[in-house]
Structure 1
Amino acid sequence: MMETFDVIIVGAGPNGLLCGAYLAKAGLKVLLLEKRHEIGGGLITEEVTVPNFLHDTHAIYMAMIDYAPAIKDLQLADNIKWISPEPVMSMHFSDGRVLSIYPDYERTSKSLAQFSAKDAKAYLEIGPRFAELMDKFLAPATYKPPIPTFETVIKMESHEIGREITEYSGRTPKDIVFSLFESEQARALFLYAACMWGLDPEIEGVSYLVPLLINRASQYRLTIGGAHRLAHWMYKAIYKAGGRAWTSQRIKRIIMEDGKATGVELIDGEILKSKIVVSSVDPYQTFFKYVGEQHLEPDFVTRLNDYEWESSSHFVYHMALNEAPQFKHSEKYPDLYKTFIHVVGFDTAQELLDHWKNVKEGELHQTGFNCCFPSIHDPVVAPKGKHTGLMSQHAPYGIKGGDADSWYREREIHGERCVNVLEKFVPNIRNIMLRHYITTPLDIENKLWDMGKGSIKQGAYLPLQMGYLRPNEYCSQYATPVPGLYMCGASVYPGGLVTLGAGYNAAGRIVEDLGITPWWPKPQIVANAEELGLL
């Protein structure tokens, strides 16, 4: 007898799991289908170097744990511990100085004072102001579906916070950072913080994210025991509510009957029927591969074809270390060893801009990146006395003079370039390295099919595919033009980076359409923003 479900979710990444947990707890019979052998999507913790060394091989820096409603709603903090090491981010310069960002404004200001008294004073205003923008609009807007652009403009113009964010949106990240800080060192660090997730430093229209990302540079969290623990406990919520996840499942198509999505067919021919289907994968796979263009209106097909992957991805070099790294300037900066995210290899903002330009052109150079050593903060991920580390660098999907397959030839060569840079700041790195494991942009695409061209956010952050237009005006409200089919992944609002926003918002839309009263409360930050007239 054919098994039927209320909801089938395609993809058991962070947003698929989150959406599934809320829907299962709402009393719906939920099934998640995952291509990989393990749930979690980018929440991957693996032994890829030496046994007993645990590496987060995709997501590691958790940006919105302190705001995401799911942490409380699903009681995730009862079983998962997150820490925010201090300093959160430190940029090492070739002259031996280090600039650090702390959760505490005064400590960050003191670090800035090494380079500019003006910048130190300015940050005492910038830090609290960006935190206020987060609390009153940027964070709450993450956990409520977007509204049409014209309505957004009206609401934003009604409040001084909205007007300020709108003003930022009309500028480039580079212009904002350069106007806030005068020293080369401050400009380099804060421009990196603003653009480390792929925001184009020269593009206007999405810079409302600059205050958010600069604020998050003082708030990133590390998941104790590995990022996969978040996936594990979201699935526990699903399981306890009667839902299930099937791994190693390949989908042939989304079943269409009388113009409506009514289930999925697996590649082995098995038919699974459901009242609705929810896709957490990208628009191309969802509509062209699984639904089929013959079921879509021409205008919608045009907008789907407009969707763009990201212009850069990440090259990541994971390390198993025989002992602790020794930072070159730790005597002068005692806090350096405790830093969560290190940025090395850039002395000026122009060097950063040159690097990003080279990436767009497909060029590989010996240059900077961010790195971290998780085991310093979380001893669970390595044997006693041993350590883990990683270097993460912006990199092109296709290499100039070749293509994406050129990474098979270039991976070790480029990895050596990165080690050369790190060695200038961590002199013992070669002597303590036991083994390494490399992830290239091509590997990201091959491992996580919904991240085409290594797009870690399932698509670029561009003015015409953000907010109400992510991925387009037809799907940004989570329902799609295909009756019975919804979207809940990083390609819909608010985007990627494990904000736990898209899956949350999609679940809200689905229960509303099904006439089910949500079991979860409205987040207080959302209620506050609505009261201000911003949402």
Structure 2
Amino acid sequence: MADCDVLFIGAGHNALVCAGYLAQAGYRVILLERRHKVGGAVVTEEIVPGFHFDLGGSAHILIHHTPIVQDLELARYGLEYIDVDPLFFAPFPDGSHITFWKDLDRTCQSIAAIAPQDAEAYYRFIKSWQPLAEGMVNSFLAPPTAGNLIKNLILKTGNNSDRFERLSAILRGYGQVLRQTFHDPRVQAAIGWMAAQSGPPPSEPLSAPFALWQPMYHQSGIRRPRGGSGMLTQALARMIQAHGGAIIAGAPVTRILTERDRAVGAETSGGIRVTARAVVSGAHIHTTMRLLEDAPVAGQARR
């Protein structure tokens, strides 16, 4: 008999959410985490004595477009969110600045103080890309079928006359999109900084959606957990444990076990061996392929 129903490699926030839903549904889950603390990039630690810092993500946005916090009853496990407004503040060497508020008109007024032409451009930018931003949210909440992707993304790019141009914009880097939309480099830099929080540089092809996501800031705003970003993942961990799940920290996985082309467990560097009916990897795809070693699926992926 397997040690659990579902084994998780890594305990970042995505793996924790998945494990939380499964544990709530009655499945036996075990999570193996390399670090001493769960959370991945959503973690808060005391780096300087007496001072806690978010080591990764700090502003929580997308989660508030989902039912996760309510479904998993995370408030019961200590999670409390605080609304943040203004959302962002961008100071510049010449003494000027832009303040981004949840209120779109107030944000445009701030931009107008240093770049009147771009204030109008920003308003048009937000209104123009709002349907696509909403479509991106909806695509995350539906199975990734071709039909759902077409409905939530392609059809949200506008009417037939401008759809090709918009699809072309999505394929570009967000730096190029911002340069083509705004004149003042300070405005470009401020919005580009927000887009860069998702990871890719402004020159990266297909990164434009990280800037085109901007309308959602003005729709849902930004919230931060009281106590730091890591309070989300700590609440998820407590919720999983309350439903019978097990989390083993300081347990780097060195190999994913396979039988007849199926993942059936994992081994750690410390000699822990866990078997499962199913395995979910919260690790990077390259790490996951390496852990699969000589399994046929890993070879197929490399090719």
2: CA distance, partners of 1:110 / 1:4: 59
Quote the residue 1:285 is aligned against. Answer: 287
Deviation, 1:103, is: 0.5
Q: Is the 8 A contact 2:104 2:218 kept in 1?
A: no
SS at match of 1:103: coil
2: CA distance, partners of 1:77 / 1:179: 43
Aligned pairs for 1:341-356 within 5 A: none
2:101 paired with 1:102: yes
Deviation, 1:248, is: 1.8
Alignment deviations for residues 350-383 of structure 1 (CA, whole Å, 9 cap, x no partner) = xxxxxxxxxxxxxxxxxxxxxxxxxxxxxxxxxx
Quote the residue 2:247 is aligned against. Answer: 245
Quote the residue 2:223 is aligned against. Answer: 221
1: CA distance, partners of 2:74 / 2:111: 36
Deviation, 1:143, is: 2.8
Quote the residue 1:212 is aligned against. Answer: 213
2: CA distance, partners of 1:7 / 1:225: 31
Q: Is the 8 A contact 1:190 1:214 kept in 2?
A: no
Quote the residue 2:37 is aligned against. Answer: 38
Deviation, 1:98, is: 1.1
Distance 1:181 1:23, change over 3 A: same
SS at match of 1:278: strand
Q: Is the 8 A contact 1:24 1:241 kept in 2?
A: yes
Quote the residue 1:122 is aligned against. Answer: 121
Distance 1:169 1:27, change over 3 A: same
Bigger helix fraction: 2
Q: Is the 8 A contact 2:132 2:157 kept in 1?
A: no
2: CA distance, partners of 1:222 / 1:197: 16
Quote the residue 1:197 is aligned against. Answer: 198
Aligned pairs for 1:148-187 within 5 A: 152=149, 156-158=153-155, 160-161=157-158, 163=163, 166-187=167-188
**Alpha-carbon RMSD:** 2.8
TM-score if structure 1 supplies the norm length? 0.51
SS at match of 1:66: helix
Distance 1:249 1:143, change over 3 A: same
Deviation, 1:298, is: 4.0
Deviation, 1:152, is: 4.5
1: CA distance, partners of 2:279 / 2:47: 34
Q: Is the 8 A contact 2:289 2:298 kept in 1?
A: no
Structure 2 unmatched runs, 5+ = none
2:261 paired with 1:259: yes
Q: Is the 8 A contact 1:264 1:273 kept in 2?
A: yes
Deviation, 1:113, is: 1.3
2: CA distance, partners of 1:166 / 1:301: 29
Distance 1:224 1:98, change over 3 A: same
Distance 1:265 1:94, change over 3 A: closer
Alignment deviations for residues 437-460 of structure 1 (CA, whole Å, 9 cap, x no partner) = xxxxxxxxxxxxxxxxxxxxxxxx
Q: Is the 8 A contact 1:12 1:41 kept in 2?
A: yes
Q: Is the 8 A contact 1:193 1:214 kept in 2?
A: no
Q: Is the 8 A contact 1:194 1:214 kept in 2?
A: no
Alignment deviations for residues 275-330 of structure 1 (CA, whole Å, 9 cap, x no partner) = 11111112232222x2212533643222xxxxxxxxxxxxxxxxxxxxxxxxxxxx
Distance 1:113 1:26, change over 3 A: same
Alignment deviations for residues 18-66 of structure 1 (CA, whole Å, 9 cap, x no partner) = 111011111111111112222222222222212x322222222223232
Structure 1 unmatched runs, 5+ = 303-535
Quote the residue 1:54 is aligned against. Answer: 52
Quote the residue 2:62 is aligned against. Answer: 64
Deviation, 1:131, is: 3.8
SS at match of 2:84: coil
Q: How many residues align?
A: 297
Q: Is the 8 A contact 1:89 1:217 kept in 2?
A: no
Distance 1:214 1:159, change over 3 A: closer
Deviation, 1:3, is: 6.4
Distance 1:106 1:264, change over 3 A: same
Whose relative contact order is higher, 1 or 2, with alpha carbons under 8 Å and at least 6 apart? 2
Greater shift after overlay, 3-12 or 247-256? 247-256
SS at match of 2:64: coil
Q: Is the 8 A contact 2:139 2:148 kept in 1?
A: no
TM-score if structure 2 supplies the norm length? 0.85
Distance 1:47 1:159, change over 3 A: closer
